[in-house]
Amino acid sequence: MTTDSKAVLVDSSGWIAAIGTGPKAPDFQRHIAGSEPLVMPTIVLYEVLKKLLLTAEKSVADRFVSHALRQTVVPLDDLLAQQAAEISIRHQLPMADAIIYATARAHSAEVVTSDTHFQGLPGVTLI
């Protein structure tokens, strides 16, 4: 991995799609398996793990957590919470999306998502 690689933040919708077999799975899998460093906000870890624990076998959830914890895990701290609140108001994003976007901005990461809440924002790839 080179220091020039732009980081990628795949949001919860992307991880769920990548783990599944739907038509968007290959596009998200390409970003997750790519050479760019992955940023993992703790809120994405929470959302995806909760979904998997409710809908998939525990082994699938365990594999996700194992992979997620090998990435750059970013907890929500006071500074990030303040930035997310401002972003939420400015871009009319729900709380989780604002935290995800603030985390991406703080780590110079591209958000990769299928969530249309992010549509039109800079630094977002919508799949």
The CATH number of the domain holding residue 56 is: 3.40.50.1010
Left, alpha or beta for 61 (phi > 0: left; psi -120 to 50: alpha)?
Answer: alpha
Q: Is residue 86 part of a domain?
A: yes
User: Does residue 40 lie within any of the structural domains?
Assistant: yes
107 φ, ψ to 5°? -115, 15
Average pLDDT, the chain: 95
pLDDT tens for 14-72 read 999 999 988 999 999 999 999 999 999 999 999 999 999 999 999 999 999 999 999 99
In a domain, 108, yes or no: yes
Share of the chain above pLDDT 90, in %: 94
What are phi and psi for residue 113, nearest 5 degrees? -155, 165
Q: Rounded to two decimals, what is the model's pTM? A: 0.92
CA trace torsion 87, 88, 93, 98 (10° rounding): 70
pLDDT, position 36? 95
| Domain housing 65 | 7-126
What is the distance between the alpha carbons of residues 96 and 119, in angstroms, rounded to a whole number? 15
Strand partners, 48: none
Question: Is 2 inside any structural domain?
Answer: no
pLDDT value at residue 46: 98
What is the gyration radius of the CA atoms in the chain, in angstroms?
A: 14
Residue 18 lies inside a defined structural domain of this protein: yes
How far apart CA 86 and CA 68 sit, in angstroms, is 27
Based on the structure, what is the number of domains in the chain?
A: 1
